[in-house]
Structures are given as C-alpha cells and as structure tokens.
C-alpha cells in the first residue's frame, strides 16, 4: 500500500462538481468519485455541513481526507474513501446550492470567495491491492460509522456481484429474510446473513471469504451464491422437516456440504430421534442435536455432568479408591464417570456415577 499526501485547493476540488441523483457525485474536474457504491447508503446530516464551511472561512484545518487511486486508466481516477461529507459540503456551497448565515457563495465579497477557493485540503492518496485496501478501510472510519467486517469487505469488493448479493441477502424483508429468516441468526441489514452464507460458500471451496469475494467480484450477479443458499435450505428442510427454534443459526452450509450425498438419512427416523433427544434431560445443549444426529459426535450435546454432591457421595462410598484400579486418590484428582455411558442409555443419576482416577478415566474415554 502506497500512501501519498497531496494538497488540493477547494478551487480544484469543486471544479466540475455534479450531484447526479442516479449516477452519483463527481468532483475534481470529473476525476473524483465522491460517492462510490459503498458510500451510497450513508446519509449525512445538514448541520455538520455548515460547520465544514465555517471551519474553512476561519482558516482552521479540516481533518485529512482519504482517496483511493484506482489507477491511471480508471475514470474517475480517484474515489473518496473518507471525507465524503466534507467534500459535498464545500463543493455544494461553492456551487451555490445552499446559503450560510443568509449568504450564498456568489453573494460573498471577492476576497472571502478567494479565501475559500484557495483553502488547501490535505488528502492522503492510497493505492495498492484489494487486500491492502481492506487493511486501510479497517483503519479509516468511513462516514463516521465503524463498519463491521462484512461491510468493509463489501466496500473493497464493490461491484455488480456485491450489489446483487446485498439485494438478496442484506435487505430487511428481502429474499433471504423471507426464505431463511428462521434459519439464520443476526440482522440482514448489518450483513450477518451475507457474512454467514459467504462463510459457508468460501469454506466449501477451502477459501477465505476475502479470496472468495475477490474471485467473484466481477461476476454480473450473485445467482450462484443464492442457488447454493437455496440448496442448503431445501436439503435442511427435507432432512429435518419439523422446524424448531434450535435450528436457527446452525452451520447449515457445512452440514449440507458434508451430508448432501448421503442416502441413509430417513427424515421420519431422524425426527423420532430429535424428539427423544429434545426430551432427554441429560442433553443440555439442544441445538447440538441436529449435528449430533448427522455425525454422532456426543460432545455437541454437552451431556449433563454429575454435580459435586453426587461425586462426593460416590467418592465416599468407594472409600476414596478408584473404581477401576483401586488406587487411593484425593477427590480433586478424580473424575466422575457414567458407569453405563449416556450413548448406551445410561443417565446422569447417582446410581450411574463412579469415581475414576485420571489415568483410568482417560483410558475409558479412549475406548469409547
Ligand atoms: Zn484408576
């Protein structure tokens, strides 16, 4: 990343300033995109607009602005990364679009006009790769709002693909909310849906989200990502046809990718098991039920442990001795164990508790 400080007079900045409701805002003789796509959703307050012009009139310094150099062949060559509000405030004042203290720019005495036009703005011009740009975006506070990671990625990889992905995944009441609102956690507008689905899509290609977005940046639409999302939901609904709130926020993408080709999954049998497990008091993490049924990993269920009182009672009943090797140990060096494992129907009840020394407990764990 190369950062070059330059000085731009208001005279040059406001040259050719146009505010086109559709196409955006340009300045600096048409060579500066003031409102690049990722800036368009931010709305600025008018009262800060006046402060910008007052600061210039007093000859006080404005904060540094940041532009991105898009390269010598790009038109406009530069885009505003930070400083959109300041740019629009001063340019639209010079263009006579609003008055300050009852005076438009064209009403001002000549020397005051000159003072404004000659005012030097400090601009840091940044150029580099997309990922270097991303690092820069993380530091700069675009629009005075701290962007979250996905918003930053959307800014760096802006283009038709991101625009379409956002239209599908990030709109309140939009397509993803309608079909996936029960399945995804977070807020669409804060990009949680898009971040989740991009995470799934990138992971199935063994890529980082950043690389995945870089690969697709210039695709005309995000149809492929959308189709993948629909496939994930179709599969999830076919395999687990009864909806429960514990399904919300599970990693359905990776679950689909790992199991999509299986032919042994019987939705009726699975639903019967879901019912059992949901009712099982020893299963303390109910949201783990679905993944457990797919991969058999008991740790997902967080099987209830024996409480301290039960452990103490077993320890005393065993005469402080390990139930397997018979060695004598302190209570703190022993572990409570299900005599009949939970997976074979043993429950977390006092009768099913035995105390094992550390080694015996590890050995038993390894045998499972
Ligand atoms: Zn032992």
For each of the chain's 368 residues, which pLDDT tens digit applies? 788 999 999 999 999 999 876 668 899 999 999 988 666 655 666 678 889 999 999 999 988 899 999 888 888 999 998 888 889 999 999 999 999 999 999 999 999 999 999 999 999 998 888 778 777 777 776 555 667 889 888 888 888 899 999 999 999 999 999 999 999 999 998 899 999 999 999 999 999 999 999 999 999 999 999 999 999 999 999 999 999 999 999 999 999 999 999 999 999 999 999 999 999 999 999 999 999 999 999 999 999 999 999 999 999 999 999 999 999 999 999 999 999 999 899 999 999 999 999 999 999 877 76
CA separation for the pair 198, 42 (Å, rounded): 24
pLDDT given for residue 159 in this prediction: 84
Is residue 361 within 8 Å of residue 353, measured between CB atoms?
no
Which residues of 83-151 form beta strands (DSSP E)? Answer: 120-127
Q: Kindly report the backbone phi and psi dihedral angles of residue 195, in degrees, each rounded to the nearest multiple of 5, phi listed first.
A: -60, -40
Q: Taking a C-beta distance cutoff of 8 angstroms, is the pair 98, 89 a contact?
A: no
Asked, as a colleague might, if the bond just before 76 is cis with ω within 30 of 0, I would say: yes
pLDDT at 144: 57
Ligand 1 centre and the CA of 311: distance in Å? 15
CA of 335 to the centre of ligand 1 (A): 10
CA of 354 to the centre of ligand 1 (A): 11
**315 CA to centre of ligand 1 in angstroms:** 13
13: preceding bond cis by omega (within 30 degrees)? no
Spell 142-180 as b/e; 16+ CB within 10 A means b: bbeeebeebbbbbbbbbbebbebbbebbbeeebebbebb
Q: 69: exposed, middle or buried (C-beta count within 10 Å: 0-12, 13-18, 19+)?
A: middle
Extract the runs of DSSP E, i.e. beta strands, from the chain: 2-9, 18-20, 24-27, 32-33, 65-69, 78-82, 120-127, 334-338, 353-357
Q: With CA atoms as reference, report the closest residue to 29 among 42, 44, 12, 54.
A: 12
From ligand 1's centre to the CA of 284, what distance in Å?
A: 28
Tokens of 72: 């010598």
pLDDT value at position 296?
A: 94
Give residue 24 CA to ligand 1 midpoint distance, Å: 74
Distance 63 CA to ligand 1 centre (A): 69
CA of 368 to the centre of ligand 1 (A): 17
Residue 307 is classified by DSSP as: P
Residue 62: how many other CB atoms lie within 10 Å? 17
Q: Ligand 1 centre and the CA of 363: distance in Å?
A: 9
- Rounded to whole angstroms, the Cα distance separating 183 from 113 reads 58
| Cα 192 from Cα 170, distance rounded (Å) | 8
Distance from residue 298's CA to the centre of ligand 1 (Å):
24
Give the Å distance between the CA of 297 and the centre of ligand 1.
Answer: 26
In the prediction, which pLDDT does 152 show? Answer: 84
Q: Where are the domains of the chain?
A: 2-147, 150-238, 245-301, 308-367
CATH of 308-367, one of 3.40.50.720, 3.40.1800.10, 2.70.98.10, 3.40.630.30: 3.40.1800.10
Could you give phi then psi for residue 105, rounded to 5 degrees? -55, -45
Centre of ligand 1 to C-alpha 358, Å, is 7
Return the pLDDT at 236: 97
The residues facing 336 across adjacent strands are: 355
Phi, psi of 130 (to 5 degrees): -60, -40
What is the 325 CA–ligand 1 centroid distance (Å)?
Answer: 4
Instruction: Report CA(361)–ligand 1 centroid distance (Å).
Output: 7
Position 300 scores a pLDDT of 96
- CA 356 / ligand 1 centre spacing (Å): 5
**Residue 178 pLDDT:** 96
Q: Is 14 helix (H, G, I), strand (E, B) or coil?
A: coil
Please state, in angstroms and rounded to a whole number, the distance separating the CA atoms of residues 194 and 190.
9
**CA 36 – CA 82 distance, rounded (Å):** 11
Q: Please give the distance, rounded to the nearest whole angstrom, from the Cα atom of residue 333 to the centre of ligand 1.
A: 10
């Amino acid at each position: 990343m190369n950062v070059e400080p330059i000085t731009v007079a208001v005279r040059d900045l406001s040259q050719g300033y146009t505010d086109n409701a559709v196409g955006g805002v340009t300045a600096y003789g048409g060579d500066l995109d003031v409102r690049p796509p990722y800036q368009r959703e931010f709305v600025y307050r008018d009262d800060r607009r006046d402060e910008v012009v007052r600061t210039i009139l007093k000859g006080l310094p404005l904060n540094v602005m940041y532009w991105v150099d898009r390269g010598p062949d790009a038109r406009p060559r530069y885009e505003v990364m930070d400083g959109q509000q300041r740019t629009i405030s001063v340019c639209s004042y010079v263009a006579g679009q609003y008055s300050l203290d009852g005076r438009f720019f064209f009403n001002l005495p000549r020397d005051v006009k000159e003072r404004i036009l000659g005012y030097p703005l400090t601009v840091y011009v940044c150029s580099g790769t997309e990922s270097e740009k991303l690092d820069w975006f993380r530091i700069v506070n675009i629009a005075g709002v701290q962007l979250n990671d996905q918003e930053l990625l959307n800014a760096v990889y802006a283009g038709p693909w991101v625009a379409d992905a956002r239209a599908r995944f990030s709109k309140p009441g939009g397509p993803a909310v309608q079909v996936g609102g029960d399945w995804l956690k977070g807020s669409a507008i804060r990009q949680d849906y898009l971040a989740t689905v991009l995470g799934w899509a990138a992971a199935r290609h063994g890529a980082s989200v950043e690389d995945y977005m870089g690969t697709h940046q210039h695709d005309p639409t995000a149809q492929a990502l959308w189709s993948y999302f629909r496939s994930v939901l179709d599969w999830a609904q076919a395999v687990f046809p009864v909806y429960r709130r514990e399904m919300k926020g599970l990693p359905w993408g990776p679950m689909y990718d790992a199991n999509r080709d299986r032919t042994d999954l019987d939705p009726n049998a699975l639903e019967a098991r879901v019912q059992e497990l949901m009712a099982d008091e020893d299963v303390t993490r109910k949201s783990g039920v679905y993944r457990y049924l797919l991969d058999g990993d008991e740790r997902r269920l967080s099987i209830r442990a024996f409480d301290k009182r039960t452990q103490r009672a077993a320890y005393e009943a065993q005469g402080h001795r390990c139930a397997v090797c018979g060695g004598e140990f302190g209570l703190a060096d022993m572990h409570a164990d299900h005599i009949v494992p939970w997976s074979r129907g043993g429950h977390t009840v006092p009768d099913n508790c035995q105390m094992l020394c550390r080694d015996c407990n590890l050995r038993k764990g390894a045998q499972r």
